[in-house]
Amino acid sequence: MEKAVVLLQQLGFTAYESKAYLGLLACQPASAYEIAKTSTVPSSKIYETLNKLVAKGVVQPTRSISSPGSSQSSSKSGQHYVALNPEDFSQQIQETTLSQTRELLPLLKSVDDSPAGDFIWPLSTQGQVVAKANEMIHQTHSSILISCWPQELSWLEDQLTEAEQNGLKVALVHFGPPAKFIGATYHHPVEKTLYEEKGGRGLTLVTDSSSVLIANFRQNGAIDAAWSKNNAFVTVAEDYIKHDVYITKVTRFLNPEMLARFGPDYEKLRDIFDAEA
């Protein structure tokens, strides 16, 4: 329930509005007194809160009909409320948000004087990383390059599959044996060694050679991530993924020779400070 309250607040509802809506869902139709009791919204605030929810179109006042011989003061008679069901509530929020953002976009563009793509925007939580990655994939017109581990692929698998089905080019470098192949999928051969060397997992996503997201997920739970349209940042990330593709192709078709020349886990190949190794 606490998670639902937090998410509702992120959608623009106050804490009292969120609790009242959820409380009403659990006992509707209900009087203001019953909603306050169920939701823990103070009785002094419940009518104000319900009026705001009515104005937002997610709660509707109704008058319950008491049974013959019952008292009008009964908790089952008088002014009651019903809540919009979860499916309609979700759809209404989506449609309202979409309509508002469509109306807002040209207004923002009319006052925007910032240089395009020059900034690097930090992302501090896993939720922000997932949301931005999904947004980038959804907005892609031609190509997606992605380097990730199984955990990160599980967040984006459906979106990447849909992108491929829609005709977009997808190149996936996967650390660890891939359970599913999407687009051109490449198994990076030294995932365990890289995990130990880097102290965690990484996600790099480049879309249309114009946007990039990079995230590091440390073993201690810390997250370092950012996205940008900065050309230099995009180019470096795109080249990083492409070179991983090149090396996975070489190791796939020339693996015995590579192991014989560079040793287990290609140790000598990864020794960048010894040109003769």
Encode the chain (277 residues) as per-residue pLDDT tens digits: 789 999 999 899 999 999 999 999 999 899 999 999 999 999 999 999 999 999 999 999 987 555 444 444 444 457 899 999 999 999 999 998 889 999 998 888 888 776 655 788 999 899 999 999 999 999 999 999 999 989 999 999 999 999 999 999 999 999 888 888 999 999 887 666 556 666 788 899 999 999 999 999 988 888 999 999 999 999 999 999 999 898 888 877 777 887 888 887 777 777 778 787 6
Q: Tens digits of per-residue pLDDT, 23-71?
A: 999 998 999 999 999 999 999 999 999 999 999 999 999 875 554 444 4
List Cα–Cα distances, 27 to 3, 4, 37, 72, 160, in angstroms. Answer: 19, 17, 11, 20, 41
pTM of the predicted structure, to 2 decimals: 0.64
Q: Which amino acid is at 95?
A: E
Q: For the chain, which domains are there?
A: 2-91 (1.10.10.10), 120-270 (3.30.870.10)
Q: Are 221 and 125 in contact (CB under 8 A)?
A: no
Cβ atoms < 10 Å from Cβ of 101: 10
What is the DSSP code (8-state) at residue 56? T
Q: Are 211 and 136 in contact (CB under 8 A)?
A: yes
Q: Tens digits of per-residue pLDDT, 80-94?
A: 999 999 999 999 999
Q: How far is CA 35 from the centre of its chain?
A: 32
d(CA 135, CA 110): 23
